[in-house]
Amino acid sequence: MTEPPRLVAAAEARPDVVGFGEAMVLLQPPAAETLDEAAALEVHSAGAELNACAAITALGRRATLVTRLGDDAFGRRIRRAAGHRGVGLACETDPTRPTGVFVKDVRPDGARRVSYYRAGSAASAMDEGDAERGLLLRPRAVLVSGLTAALGPGPARLVEHIGRHAADHGSALVLDVNLRPALGRLDSTVRLLLAMLSRVDLLVLGTDESEPLFGTSDPAEIVRRARQAGVREVVVKAGEQGCWWTDADGESRPMRSLAARVVDPVGAGDAFTGGYLTARLAGADTRQAAALGSRLAAGVLADVGDTTGLPRRAEGVRLLAAAVADSAGAGVAAPFGVGRSRAD
Ligand SMILES: Nc1ncnc2c1ncn2[C@@H]1O[C@H](COP(=O)(O)OP(=O)(O)O)[C@@H](O)[C@H]1O
Ligand SMILES: O=C(O)C(=O)C[C@H](O)[C@H](O)COP(=O)(O)O
């Protein structure tokens, strides 16, 4: 049998998306129980960028996470979990630092409570030296977030570096704002993100985190101000109100949530981001992309854990194909600036 041409093999290995961020073990009580009372806790693997990568692979596309893990049982669990989900890890092991952990409690009223045990974690020591492990894979898009920028000075430099150099590697720059005031560093994170905006191809953010960046939580105004700052495409998440996608004329359009049941709201936003981005990279228009993001979010909302409820791969492949087939120009049909280069 003749060997496949090397170029084809290289093209196949190119991930659709590379995310940069922290993967953690997540401990949480079973549905309808609380941390105060539960006799046992569930163990999951999570982290914003890992969650989004899991949504991307659930739709049959390729995603890799650049991170650092400790040389411990939690780190090994995360490696296994990423493998099960088909998410590639471009990961360094740091034997001097632990893998991060967070604990989630969801009260019966649906309010989320998250406690972090991640100060000094392996991933909090990431820096711009971690960038190449992802950028050299030449992904179609890179995904970064304000969360990573808030982990410490090194991770902040990493996010800034990715912002500056994604286009040099032919990758679209995707920013999911993901502000986490509980991590501190809010002011410096906001400054860093604002300085990046002129290079951002796709901005994903929630109405609950837009004030510090844009001084408004009105979706149409968020979109207007983001585009003024140089962002190419914006989609706004609005929790139980659903989301706002942008049509071909730059108008913000509301879309209702597809959630039938809300068991655990944490992780829905990451699933939305993964679904929206994957659909856009596959050529779906913005409305269908928002619908697919909402669909994945609805699945995650219905179960405990940040990624439980994502579709099985065969179903995901079918959902993605349908989103592309149903795209009829109501939104912006051409995927945002994939592979374009921008002057500084
Ligand atoms: N409480 C909720 N009820 C109904 N739908 C929700 C709820 N929370 C989230 N969603 C759905 O999940 C999507 C993403 O969640 P959202 O909370 O907006 O993001 P994030 O978690 O990043 O703040 C929303 O656009 C909506 O479709
Ligand atoms: O908060 C963090 O530090 C994390 O990385 C893990 C969070 O569970 C996800 O990011 C969930 O975020 P949403 O999808 O916006 O609900």
State pLDDT tens for residues 168-220: 999 999 999 999 999 999 999 999 999 999 999 999 999 999 999 999 999 99
Bridge partners, residue 25, by sequence: 45, 101
Q: Tokens 């960046």 label which residue? A: 213
Percent of the chain with pLDDT over 70: 93
Answer yes or no: are the C-beta atoms of 60 and 113 closer than 8 Å: no
Beta-strand runs (E) in the chain: 17-20, 24-28, 42-46, 63-70, 88-94, 101-106, 112-117, 141-145, 172-176, 202-206, 233-237, 243-246, 252-255
Instruction: Answer yes or no: 270 catalytic.
Output: yes
- Does 267 sit in the ligand 2 pocket, CB within 6 Å? yes
Residue-wise pLDDT for 152-179, tens only, equals 999 999 999 999 999 999 999 999 999 9
Residue-wise pLDDT for 292-307, tens only, equals 999 999 999 998 888 9
* Cα–Cα distance, 268 to 216 (Å, whole number): 22
pTM, whole model, 2 decimals? Answer: 0.94
Q: Which ligand is nearest to the CA of 306?
A: 2
Residue-wise pLDDT for 123-163, tens only, equals 999 999 999 999 999 999 999 999 999 999 999 999 999 99
Residue-wise pLDDT for 35-87, tens only, equals 999 999 999 999 999 999 999 999 999 999 999 999 999 999 999 999 999 99
* Cα–Cα distance, 21 to 68 (Å, whole number): 8
* Cα–Cα distance, 140 to 16 (Å, whole number): 5
Residue 52 amino acid letter? A
* Cα–Cα distance, 37 to 43 (Å, whole number): 16
Burial class (CB in 10 A: 0-12, 13-18, 19+), 8: exposed
**CA–centroid distance, residue 296 to ligand 1 (Å):** 10
- Does 86 sit in the ligand 1 pocket, CB within 6 Å? no
Burial class (CB in 10 A: 0-12, 13-18, 19+), 271: buried
* Cα–Cα distance, 194 to 199 (Å, whole number): 10
Percent of the chain with pLDDT over 90: 84
pLDDT of amino acid 4:
40
Q: Which two tokens stand for residue 24?
A: 């953690």
Site to substitute for ligand 1 among 301, 306, 307, most atoms within 8 A of C-beta: 301
- Does 48 sit in the ligand 1 pocket, CB within 6 Å? no
Q: How confident is the model at residue 330 (pLDDT cuts 50, 70, 90)?
A: low
Direct distance between the N- and C-terminal alpha carbons of the chain, in angstroms, rounded to an integer: 48
Ligand 2 atom 11, closest CA:
267
Q: How confident is the model at residue 337 (pLDDT cuts 50, 70, 90)?
A: low
Which residues have CB under 8 Å from 174's CB, separation 6+? 17, 141, 142, 143, 144, 200, 201, 202, 204, 273, 277
pLDDT of amino acid 329:
64
Q: Which ligand is nearest to the CA of 146?
A: 2
pLDDT of amino acid 2:
39
**CA–centroid distance, residue 205 to ligand 1 (Å):** 11
Mean pLDDT of 100-105: 96
- Does 239 sit in the ligand 1 pocket, CB within 6 Å? yes
* Cα–Cα separations (whole angstroms), residue 151 to 81, 143, 146, 301, 306: 23, 16, 9, 26, 20
Q: Which two tokens stand for residue 162?
A: 């990715």
Average pLDDT, the chain: 92
**CA–centroid distance, residue 293 to ligand 1 (Å):** 10
- Does 147 sit in the ligand 2 pocket, CB within 6 Å? yes
Ligand 1 atom 8, closest CA:
239
Q: Which ligand is nearest to the CA of 209?
A: 1
Neighbouring CB atoms inside 10 A of 342's CB total 14
Q: Is the pLDDT of residue 8 over 90?
A: no
* Cα–Cα distance, 225 to 341 (Å, whole number): 22
Selecting among 16, 130, 264, 270, the annotated active-site residue is 270
